[in-house]
Structure 1
């Protein structure tokens, strides 16, 4: 059985201030810092940076 502690579920919030959020998993060993991904924001209508919230 896999350990759930190494890949926690994280929420990514849009930096455009629209309130859009994505939910994903990350590997805590490879990415110990906060995750920043460039994803599509449907409210803004373009790709923006999404930052990990805790």
Structure 2
């Protein structure tokens, strides 16, 4: 089975500048804009915003 093009794999990069990344999937039809999630950054030892990079 082929993977759906509606749910691409996206990389989330920390806005704290530590270089930490998360990998997730998103629904392109429901979220056409870049994804922003608040997740834990172990280098900064705090929850910070992670933004989608292309």
TM class, shorter-chain normalised?
A: over 0.9
Q: What is the TM-score with the length of structure 1 in the denominator?
A: 0.94
| 1:1-54 map, 5 Å | 1=1, 3-54=3-54
Q: What runs of 5+ residues in structure 2 fail to find an aligned partner? A: none
Following superposition, the deviation at residue 4 of structure 1 comes to 1.8
What are the ranges of 5 or more consecutive residues in structure 1 without an aligned counterpart? none
Q: CA deviation digits over 1:9-52, x for unaligned, max 9? A: 00000000000000000000000000000000000000000000
CA RMSD of aligned residues (A): 1.1
How many pairs were matched up? 54
Task: Give the Cα separation in 2 of the matches to 1:3 and 1:20.
Answer: 26
